[in-house]
Amino acid sequence: PYHNRVHAASVLHATHALLEQTDLAEAAAAALCWEGTETGRCAQIVRLASLLAAAAHDFEHRGLTNDYLVRTCDSRAICYNDQHVNENHHVAAAFAVLQRPGCDFLAGLP
């Protein structure tokens, strides 16, 4: 299937290249930075969030479309009330991994 580990690595690599070769993180930080926070620190957070999103964007994808999952009353479709089934599962499953002991590398962030 297309949505596999190679695809995930490709998206993660492309995101890293985009962040390294452009000022995208800095531009986003300037627009999103909350008052009193250094723009450079915000840019670091934007980079981290972008890389985490890239790594998790198709996590546990089974190669089935949202429409198929809804039409077949798949358990994931039921769990997410037929709304953005794959996308909701990707993020929920990724956050579940982060909750495992020793896996939450974000826990130490201020």
Active site residues: 3
Can you tell me whether residue 90 is helix, strand or coil? helix
90 annotated to bind ligand: no
Q: Is 58 assigned to a binding site? A: yes
Has 67 been labeled as part of a binding site?
no
- The amino acid sitting at 83 is Q
CA distance 38 to 70: 45
Residue set of the binding site: 7, 57-58
Q: Annotated binding site for Zn(2+), which residues?
A: 7, 57-58
